């Protein structure tokens, strides 16, 4: 471990929200209670596809305690979506006017004095439907005669994406002559965010025409803008407050029914209305990870040099676009990652179906893409008798590489990651029967360059204000959803300004007081909000130091800096003055005005995806019981390049948390639908990994410096979700010789693969 040159960065600091969270003081939207508050409940469609003919709310309104019932007719009927720039992708009326497109879709909402009364009222709402034929799988929905889910959308194709570079056909032709080509089909399942806090919102509309919404959100700004848009309000008249947020993972930055319906009800009554989804509602009627069918065709030279890849992907978009369009693109890009391809072609098709919409979820299409890519690479290595580490190393991205037309790679520790994991795997020696280690490489973006939201604001902003006593108010728009962004920003601010974390008070989660920020998704905040904070703190420090230069009057060749509350000459650190004294002088010098520093960041000319990419290789040590198919994960080791770690305690938390979620995606979590109905909408039947199944996890940090990131930092929250399913599949491949082409890897699928392998062996013997 190299010595840390920083005073605050990369030191073990307590999470600044820790005291609130470990003492029960932290309040979440779930806990918000306001005087006169009413409780809302949502009536949901029992049909996957149906016209709404009539909704009779009269009986429900008569129930004592019921204050209002709303349907689509009580709204502006605006079709909204998060891809605001593209009207055709704004396809969702949260309370639809004409038809429902998935089981669980809201059709009406009730506000009553108690939750129990609101729920009883739901049974009294009469909805007349005309049931329509429905379709549930993308490969069915894309057929010519499939039911039309959105009028005017041909073959239910919601979005397509094409990524291409190099001469793909030429490369395949070469491989056909004297190389090797392999093609495989894969099926990746959905997954639910399953945040511990379900979707929740408390809306309060007041007679002055202002709306305040407390909500569990990853982006208060997005919700402010989206709510204003659908409710016909000015953004400035909508205040979104994020109390502590109980998890997001990609599922809480789009407008959801809790926010929308509570707002509509509140606007009707001028009373606060609270809607909290039950776990069942959360599971059937939010949005999930995108299930994907992948066709992958790869051409390599006999020595393992990658030539070209041609892939086609069909995703189950569910009923609406949501963030699915982004997942479609990112999946296709990270399907090529982290390798150099002479030619690459990806065609992605997002297809509407009559199921719960699919959207972003940690990893954003990459876990699926990597599951296919990294396993096929392993099988190619086996087919050709090549070493999987050597092949990966040979083709890996390097510093300075340009993914043609897509991305500029600056810092890149891929090779070092491969070296470290290779060493680690070798050190484990021979493992017992039915047990093996599988590996997977990948990487991820540190926030996206795209502005499909069509914001006029900087992607991230920050304001640093220094008080008389030297304490610092840091206002940011980035949202802490548990990943510790408040702490990360406090660390960056403290390091830059030269103070301690305990001197910095972070303000976030309130659109009335904080600048706009795109929020916590796409693993963007450390890089983007971090850059904004660094800029703001530098601005504040520069203003502050003007007074120190004046005070100390030293030779023009000398510089001043502040470290650990000590203002000093850089060349002669023993000469200086306390930061706290300087602040007092500065305030007086500015006529009693506090120093305010401003910072912001928007990526410009950073390629098509992201300013910077993390890299990693992960090894999963797994054992299978070949008679029952049960999988036991023994250990996970990851070599990880996230540039400069800012918050080491937080980094380990991201590694372990991502591993737990990715393992779930690999072998535990499943969302089976039957005729559009989710069969396991509860936490008994939806299997989330528990402490007893969680393996030991280790991390090898690879040191790089990313010029685009604050102090060289890049992402760590999402990329770590990408490799695990593939690594697990590769472990099973080496342990039992089976190729798992479907997620999740269930015991039944393992046994089926074993049987098929034995059958194939027998057939080979007989021929």
Partner 1 sequence: MEKYLLKLTVNGQEYEVYINPKTLLVEVIRDYLGFTGTKRGCETVSCGACTVTVNGKSVKSCSILAMQVDGMEIVTSEGLEKNGKLSPIQKAFLDHGAFQCGFCTSGMLMSATAFLDELNGRIPKKHEIKEAIEGNLCRCTGYNSIVRAIEAVAQGEYKEERQ
Partner 2 sequence: MIHDFHYLKPDSLKTALAMYAEHEDCKVICGGQSLLIVMRQGMVAPEYLLDIKHIHELSYISFDNQKGLRIGATTTHREIEQSPLIQEKYPVLAAMENKLASIQTRNWGTIGGNLAHADPAGDPAPVLIALKASIKVGSIKGERVMPLDEFFVDYFETAMEHGELILEVQVPPPAPKTGVAYQKFNLLDSDMGIVAVAASVTLDRDGKCKDTRVVLGNAGPTPLRMKNIESLLIGKKLNEKLFEEAGKISSTESQPVADIHASEEHRRHLLGVLTRRMLKQACDIAQKG
Contact yes or no for 233/260 (Cβ under 8 A):
no
- Show contacts with partner 1 in window 44-73 (CB under 8 A): none
Q: Pattern of binders to partner 1 over 605-644, x per CB under 8 A?
A: ----------------------------------------
Nearer to partner 1, 138 or 484 (CB): 484
Binding of residue 1 to partner 1 (CB under 8 A):
no
Nearer to partner 2, 533 or 671 (CB): 671
Least distance in Å: CB of 690 to partner 1? 5
Nearer to partner 2, 190 or 576 (CB): 190
Least distance in Å: CB of 746 to partner 2? 8
Binding of residue 197 to partner 1 (CB under 8 A):
yes
Binding of residue 122 to partner 1 (CB under 8 A):
no
Binding of residue 280 to partner 1 (CB under 8 A):
yes
Query: φ, ψ for residue 5 (rounded to 5)?
Result: -85, 0
Quote the tokens at residue 122: 């739901």
Least distance in Å: CB of 630 to partner 2? 7
The Cβ-side half-sphere exposure at 231, using a 13 Å CA radius, reads 30
Nearer to partner 1, 179 or 243 (CB): 243
Among 607, 653, 737, 747, binds partner 1 (CB under 8 A): 653
State the burial class of residue 223 (Cβ atoms within 10 Å of its Cβ: 0-12, 13-18, 19+).
buried
Binding of residue 25 to partner 1 (CB under 8 A):
yes
Distance, in Å, from the CA atom of 461 to the CA atom of 530, rounded to the nearest integer, reads 9
Nearer to partner 2, 405 or 672 (CB): 672
Decide which of partner 2, partner 1, none touches 18; Cβ closer than 5 to 8 Å per partner kind: partner 1
Contact yes or no for 464/529 (Cβ under 8 A):
no
Binding of residue 190 to partner 1 (CB under 8 A):
no
- Show contacts with partner 1 in window 668-687 (CB under 8 A): 682-684
Among 247, 348, 515, 530, binds partner 1 (CB under 8 A): 247
Decide which of partner 1, partner 2, none touches 747; Cβ closer than 5 to 8 Å per partner kind: partner 2
Least distance in Å: CB of 410 to partner 2? 42
Ramachandran area for residue 247 (φ above 0: left; ψ -120 to 50: alpha; else beta) = left
Binding of residue 30 to partner 1 (CB under 8 A):
yes
Which residues are CB-neighbours of 570 under 8 A, at least 6 positions away? 558, 559, 560, 561
Q: Which residues pair with 232 in a beta bridge?
A: none
Ramachandran area for residue 268 (φ above 0: left; ψ -120 to 50: alpha; else beta) = alpha
The Cβ-side half-sphere exposure at 238, using a 13 Å CA radius, reads 27
Q: In what order do the strands lie in the sheet with 292-301?
A: 157-165, 343-352, 306-318, 292-301, 179-188
Number of CB atoms found within 10 A of residue 696's CB: 11
Ramachandran area for residue 230 (φ above 0: left; ψ -120 to 50: alpha; else beta) = alpha
Contact yes or no for 217/201 (Cβ under 8 A):
no
Distance, in Å, from the CA atom of 440 to the CA atom of 374, rounded to the nearest integer, reads 6
- H or E element in which residue 414 lies: helix 414-428
Least distance in Å: CB of 123 to partner 2? 11
Paired sense of beta strands 292-301 and 179-188, if any: antiparallel
Decide which of partner 2, partner 1, none touches 196; Cβ closer than 5 to 8 Å per partner kind: partner 1
Decide which of partner 1, partner 2, none touches 139; Cβ closer than 5 to 8 Å per partner kind: none
Binding of residue 658 to partner 1 (CB under 8 A):
yes
Nearer to partner 2, 64 or 207 (CB): 64
Nearer to partner 1, 201 or 586 (CB): 201
Contact yes or no for 49/132 (Cβ under 8 A):
yes
Query: Tokens 């009800």 appear where?
Result: 265
Decide which of partner 1, partner 2, none touches 522; Cβ closer than 5 to 8 Å per partner kind: none
Binding of residue 249 to partner 1 (CB under 8 A):
yes
Query: Tokens 């491989």 appear where?
Result: 175
Decide which of partner 1, partner 2, none touches 22; Cβ closer than 5 to 8 Å per partner kind: partner 1
Binding of residue 488 to partner 1 (CB under 8 A):
no
Q: Three-state SS across 264-295?
A: HHHHHHCCCEEEECCHHHHHHCCCEECCEEEE
- H or E element in which residue 490 lies: helix 485-497
Paired sense of beta strands 238-241 and 210-215, if any: parallel
Distance, in Å, from the CA atom of 254 to the CA atom of 356, rounded to the nearest integer, reads 14
Nearer to partner 2, 214 or 667 (CB): 667
Decide which of partner 1, partner 2, none touches 279; Cβ closer than 5 to 8 Å per partner kind: partner 1
Decide which of partner 1, partner 2, none touches 483; Cβ closer than 5 to 8 Å per partner kind: partner 1
**Cα dist. 168→174, 309, 338, 372, 687 in Å?**
10, 7, 18, 19, 41
Nearer to partner 1, 92 or 256 (CB): 256
Binding of residue 728 to partner 1 (CB under 8 A):
no
Nearer to partner 2, 301 or 752 (CB): 752
The Cβ-side half-sphere exposure at 686, using a 13 Å CA radius, reads 22
Among 17, 88, 390, 473, binds partner 1 (CB under 8 A): 17
- The residue ranges that bind partner 2 (CB under 8 A) are 116, 119-120, 627-628, 630, 667-668, 670, 672, 679-680, 684-685, 687, 689-690, 692-693, 747-748, 751
- Number of amino acids touching partner 1 (CB under 8 A): 55
Nearer to partner 2, 512 or 748 (CB): 748
Binding of residue 491 to partner 1 (CB under 8 A):
no
Binding of residue 385 to partner 1 (CB under 8 A):
no
Least distance in Å: CB of 667 to partner 2? 8
State the burial class of residue 382 (Cβ atoms within 10 Å of its Cβ: 0-12, 13-18, 19+).
middle
Q: Pattern of binders to partner 1 over 456-485, x per CB under 8 A?
A: -------------------------xxxx-
The residues that touch partner 1, with contacts defined as CB under 8 A, are 14-15, 17-28, 30-31, 193-198, 244-247, 249, 278-280, 481-484, 649-650, 652-653, 655-661, 682-684, 688, 690-692, 694, 696-697
């Amino acid at each position: 471990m190299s010595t840390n040159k920083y005073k605050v960065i990369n030191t073990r600091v307590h999470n600044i929200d820790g005291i609130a969270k470990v003492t029960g003081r932290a309040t979440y939207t779930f806990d918000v209670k306001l005087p006169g508050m009413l409780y809302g409940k949502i009536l949901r469609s029992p049909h996957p596809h149906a016209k709404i003919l009539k909704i009779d709310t009269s009986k429900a309104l008569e129930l004592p305690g019921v204050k209002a019932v709303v349907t689509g007719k009580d709204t502006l009927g605006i079709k909204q979506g998060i891809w605001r720039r593209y009207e055709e992708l704004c396809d969702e009326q949260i309370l639809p006017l004409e038809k429902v497109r998935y089981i669980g879709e809201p059709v009406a909402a009730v506000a009553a004095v108690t939750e129990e009364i609101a729920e009883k009222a739901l049974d009294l709402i009469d909805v007349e439907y005309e049931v329509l034929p429905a379709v549930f799988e993308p490969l069915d929905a894309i057929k010519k005669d499939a039911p039309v889910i959105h009028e005017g959308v041909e073959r239910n194709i919601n979005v397509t994406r094409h990524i291409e570079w190099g001469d793909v056909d030429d490369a395949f032709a070469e491989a056909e002559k004297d190389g090797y080509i392999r093609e495989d089909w894969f099926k990746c399942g959905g997954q639910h965010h399953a945040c511990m806090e379900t979707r929740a919102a408390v809306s309060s509309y007041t007679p002055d025409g202002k709306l305040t919404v407390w909500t569990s959100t990853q982006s208060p700004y997005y919700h402010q803008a989206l709510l204003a848009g659908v409710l016909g309000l000015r953004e400035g008249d909508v205040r979104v407050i994020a109390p502590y947020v109980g998890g997001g993972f990609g599922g809480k930055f789009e407008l959801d029914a809790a926010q929308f319906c509570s707002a509509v009800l509140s606007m009707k009554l001028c009373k606060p209305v609270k809607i909290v989804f039950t776990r069942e509602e959360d599971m059937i009627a939010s949005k999930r990870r995108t299930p994907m069918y992948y066709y992958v065709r790869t051409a390599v030279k006999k020595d393992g040099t990658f030539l070209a890849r041609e892939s086609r992907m069909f995703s189950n978009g569910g009923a609406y676009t949501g963030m699915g369009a982004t997942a479609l693109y990112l999946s296709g890009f990270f399907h090529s990652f982290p390798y150099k391809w002479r030619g690459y072609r990806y065609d992605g098709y997002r297809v509407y179906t009559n199921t719960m919409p699919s959207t972003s979820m940690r990893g954003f299409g990459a876990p699926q893409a990597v599951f296919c890519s990294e396993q096929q690479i392993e099988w190619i290595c086996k087919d050709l008798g090549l070493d999987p580490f050597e092949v990966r190393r040979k083709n890996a991205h390097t510093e300075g590489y340009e993914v043609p037309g897509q991305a500029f790679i600056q810092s890149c520790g891929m090779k070092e990651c491969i070296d470290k994991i290779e060493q680690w795997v070798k050190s484990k020696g021979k493992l017992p029967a039915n047990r093996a280690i599988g590996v997977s490489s990948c990487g991820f973006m540190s926030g996206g360059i795209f502005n499909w939201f069509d914001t006029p604001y900087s992607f991230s902003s920050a304001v640093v204000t220094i008080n008389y006593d030297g304490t610092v108010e840091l206002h940011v728009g980035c949202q802490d959803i548990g990943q510790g962004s408040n702490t990360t920003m406090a660390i960056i601010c403290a390091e830059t300004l030269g103070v301690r974390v305990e001197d910095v008070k972070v303000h976030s989660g309130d659109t009335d007081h904080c600048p706009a920020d795109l929020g916590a998704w796409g693993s963007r905040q450390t890089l983007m909000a971090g850059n904004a904070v660094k800029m703001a703190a530098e601005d504040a420090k520069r203003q502050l130091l003007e007074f120190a230069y004046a005070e100390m009057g030293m030779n023009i060749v000398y510089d001043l800096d502040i470290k650990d509350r000590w203002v000093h000459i850089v060349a002669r650190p023993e000469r200086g003055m306390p930061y706290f004294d300087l602040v007092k002088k500065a305030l007086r010098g500015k006529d009693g005005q506090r120093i305010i520093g401003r910072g912001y960041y928007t990526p410009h000319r950073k390629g098509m995806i992201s300013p910077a990419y993390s890299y990693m290789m992960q090894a999963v040590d797994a054992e299978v019981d070949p008679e029952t198919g049960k999988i036991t994960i023994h250990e996970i080791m990851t070599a990880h390049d996230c540039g400069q770690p800012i918050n080491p305690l937080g980094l380990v938390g991201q590694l372990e948390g991502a591993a737990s979620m990715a393992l779930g995606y690999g072998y535990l979590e499943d969302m089976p639908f039957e005729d559009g109905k989710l069969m396991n909408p509860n936490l008994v039947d939806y299997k989330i990994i528990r402490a007893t199944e969680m393996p030991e996890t280790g991390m090898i940090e690879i040191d790089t410096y990313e010029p685009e990131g604050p102090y060289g930092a890049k992402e760590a929250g999402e990329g770590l979700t990408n490799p695990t399913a593939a690594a697990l599949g590769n472990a099973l491949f080496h342990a039992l010789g089976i190729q798992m082409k479907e997620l999740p890897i269930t015991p039944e699928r393992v046994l089926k693969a074993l049987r098929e392998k034995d059958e194939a062996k027998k057939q080979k013997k007989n021929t």
